[in-house]
Amino acid sequence: MKIRVLFFPVAVSLSALLAQAEWTAGNYDPLQPVSSADFSPTTLLSSALYSVEPLAQPDGQHVMFILQGPGGSERVTGRQCLGIRTSEIKAIAALDEIDNSEEFGKALVKAGAEKVESVKDAVKDPLGTAQRLPQGASRLLGRVATAVKNTVEGKSNPRSGVETALGVSRKKAELALQLGVSPYTHDAILQSKLDATARAMAGGALVVNLSGLVVSGGVGTAISVVNVNQTLQRTLIESSPEEMMVKNRSALAALGASPTAIEGFLGNPSLSPWQKSLITADLKDIGQNPNAFLGIAKMTSTPEAAVDLLQMTRLLHQHHQESSPLVSLREENGVFAALDTEGLLLAPVPGDLILWTPPQDSRADTLVAMAKADSQVKALTLKSDGLISARALDELAKKGILTTPQALGPIR
Looking at per-residue confidence, does 395 or 151 come out higher?
Answer: 395
Q: Are 171 and 212 in contact (CB under 8 A)?
A: no
In this predicted structure, the answer to whether residue 136 has a pLDDT above a threshold of 50 is: no
Q: Is residue 44 part of a domain?
A: no
Q: Are 150 and 161 in contact (CB under 8 A)?
A: yes
pTM of full prediction above 0.75: yes
Domain count, the chain: 1
The SS3 of residue 144 is: helix
Q: Are 82 and 65 in contact (CB under 8 A)?
A: yes
> Looking at residue 209, what is its pLDDT?
54
> Looking at residue 99, what is its pLDDT?
73
| Region 43-63 average pLDDT | 95
Q: How confident is the model at residue 130 (pLDDT cuts 50, 70, 90)?
A: very low
In this predicted structure, the answer to whether residue 87 has a pLDDT above a threshold of 70 is: yes
CA–CA separation, 35 and 33 (whole Å): 7
List, in sequence order, every beta strand (DSSP E) within 369-411.
Answer: 379-383, 387-388, 401-404
Q: Is residue 5 part of a domain?
A: no
Q: Is residue 239 part of a domain?
A: no
Q: In whole angstroms, how far apart are CA 389 and each of 200, 351, 352?
A: 50, 12, 10
DSSP-derived letter for residue 67 is E
In this predicted structure, the answer to whether residue 133 has a pLDDT above a threshold of 90 is: no
Q: Is residue 294 part of a domain?
A: no
Q: pLDDT of 305-339, one tens digit each? A: 999 999 999 999 999 999 999 999 999 999 999 99
Q: Is residue 317 part of a domain?
A: no
Looking at per-residue confidence, does 63 or 136 come out higher?
Answer: 63
| Region 83-112 average pLDDT | 77
CA–CA separation, 19 and 202 (whole Å): 54
In this predicted structure, the answer to whether residue 84 has a pLDDT above a threshold of 70 is: yes
Q: Is residue 275 part of a domain?
A: no
Query: Which of 5-19, 170-184, 185-199, 281-295 has the highest mean predicted lDDT (pLDDT)?
Result: 281-295
Give the number of other Cβ atoms within 10 Å of residue 55's Cβ.
19
Q: Is residue 374 part of a domain?
A: no
Cβ-in-10-Å burial (0-12, 13-18, 19+) of 171 comes to buried
> Looking at residue 323, what is its pLDDT?
96
In this predicted structure, the answer to whether residue 205 has a pLDDT above a threshold of 70 is: no
Q: Are 217 and 224 in contact (CB under 8 A)?
A: yes
Q: Is residue 271 part of a domain?
A: no
Q: pLDDT of 212-243, one tens digit each? A: 443 434 454 444 444 567 778 888 888 889 99
Looking at per-residue confidence, does 215 or 186 come out higher?
Answer: 186
Cβ-in-10-Å burial (0-12, 13-18, 19+) of 262 comes to buried
CA–CA separation, 332 and 114 (whole Å): 56
Exposure letters 265-285 (e unless 16+ CB within 10 A, then b): bbebebbbbbbbbbbbbbbee
Containing domain of residue 103, as a range?
A: 96-217
